[in-house]
Amino acid sequence: MRLVRFGEKGSEKPGVIDETGIIRDVSSIVPDYGPETLSPNLVEQLAQADLAALPAAPAGIRLGAPVARIGHYIAIGLNYADHAAETGAAIPSEPIVFSKAPNCLSGPNDDVLMPRGSQKLDWEVELAIVIGSRCDYVDQREALDHVLGYALANDVSEREYQAERGGQWIKGKSAPTFGPLGPWIATRDEIADPQALRMFLNVNGEPRQKGSTATMIFSVAHIVSYLSRFMVLDPGDVIVTGTPPGVALGMKPPVYLKAGDEMHLGVEGLGEQRQKVVAR
């Protein structure tokens, strides 16, 4: 099942994409997708609904992030060996964990706002995990049982803020619109193996990233279990899991994003995103 939210910013409604590709308005079943509502029980309820009897969303309507709001927006750094190599970093022995501000969340095709004075704006196509049930000291063998589903994410980053201004990475990861998510959440049953998904990202039509989740250092199950040792993960929390090589930081010389640039990215089974960079 593919869960979406559609409508103007701040007025999105929850939807499900039916077998014909039409978005069906499910707001009569659930008010929105968020920490209070996302659960395996909701997925079962939506699966049993007569979607054809529900209203269709207007064609071409804007898609918002498929989660209304989140508690934790956690990210894993340097989780692809070839990406670590291109940035000159050592292969981590444990997952590198950092946060993004939850309100950086944005729709999959919304403009990315370039912070004032930004010089090193970068892209990162990533697989996102959406948690479906509380995780507290979860064994790795049971970790996937706590996953509601998966989504496409762009972990937009300002590298100067991240690495050259002192403090923690969160400063370079959290500006408004730095968290495009969607177009949908694919529930766990839709993705047979989260460690075998192709992914890509182009800038202005030119290939930049091409990879597969098969080359992740730490798997989805490992990440969920690992994080649950240090914090409680709740329904609706989002975890982005790292990026393959091809980021601007790794180019020689680096070629960072500028106003007017357009990104096009996708992960197999999770749809595609398109964003234009706009100066604030």
Rounded distance between C-alpha atoms, residue 259 and residue 276, angstroms: 8
Other CB atoms within a 10 A radius of the CB of residue 140 amount to: 15
Residue 88 pLDDT > 90: no
pLDDT at residue number 81: 84
Q: Which two tokens stand for residue 10?
A: 């701040």
Q: Which two tokens stand for residue 244?
A: 């393959």
Note whether 70 and 114 are within 8 A (CB).
Answer: no
pLDDT in tens, 130-147: 999 999 999 999 999 999
Residue 89 pLDDT > 90: no
Look up residue 207 and give its amino acid.
Answer: P
pTM to 2 decimal places: 0.96
Task: Name the helix (H) or strand (E) containing 273.
Answer: strand 272-279
Average pLDDT over residues 234-252: 96
Average pLDDT over residues 60-78: 96
pLDDT in tens, 211-238: 999 999 999 999 999 999 999 999 999 9
Residue 68 pLDDT > 90: yes
Residue 86 pLDDT > 90: no
pLDDT at residue number 84: 81
pLDDT at residue number 9: 95
Determine phi and psi for 127, rounding to 5 degrees: -85, 130
Note whether 142 and 72 are within 8 A (CB).
Answer: no
Considering the chain, what is the average pLDDT of its residues?
Answer: 96
**Domains identified in the chain and CATH numbers:** 2-63 (no CATH), 65-279 (3.90.850.10)
pLDDT at residue number 268: 98
- H/E/C letters for each residue in 3-50? EEEECCCCCCEEEEECCCCCEEECCCCCCCCCCCCCCHHHHHHHHHCC
CB-based contacts of 41, cutoff 8 Å, min separation 6: none
**Confidence band for 90, pLDDT divided at 50, 70 and 90:** confident
Q: Of all residues in the chain, what percent are helix, strand and coil, respectively (each to 5)?
A: 20, 30, 50
Average pLDDT over residues 68-75: 95
Number of H helices, E strands in the chain: 4, 19
Q: Are strands 125-131 and 238-240 parallel, antiparallel or unpaired?
A: antiparallel
Average pLDDT over residues 104-112: 98
Residue 66 pLDDT > 90: yes
Distances (CA, A) of 33 to 183, 219, 241: 14, 26, 22
**Confidence band for 82, pLDDT divided at 50, 70 and 90:** confident
pLDDT at residue number 118: 96
Average pLDDT over residues 95-111: 97
Check the CA dihedral 68-72-76-77 and report its sign: positive
pLDDT in tens, 177-203: 999 999 999 999 999 999 999 999 999
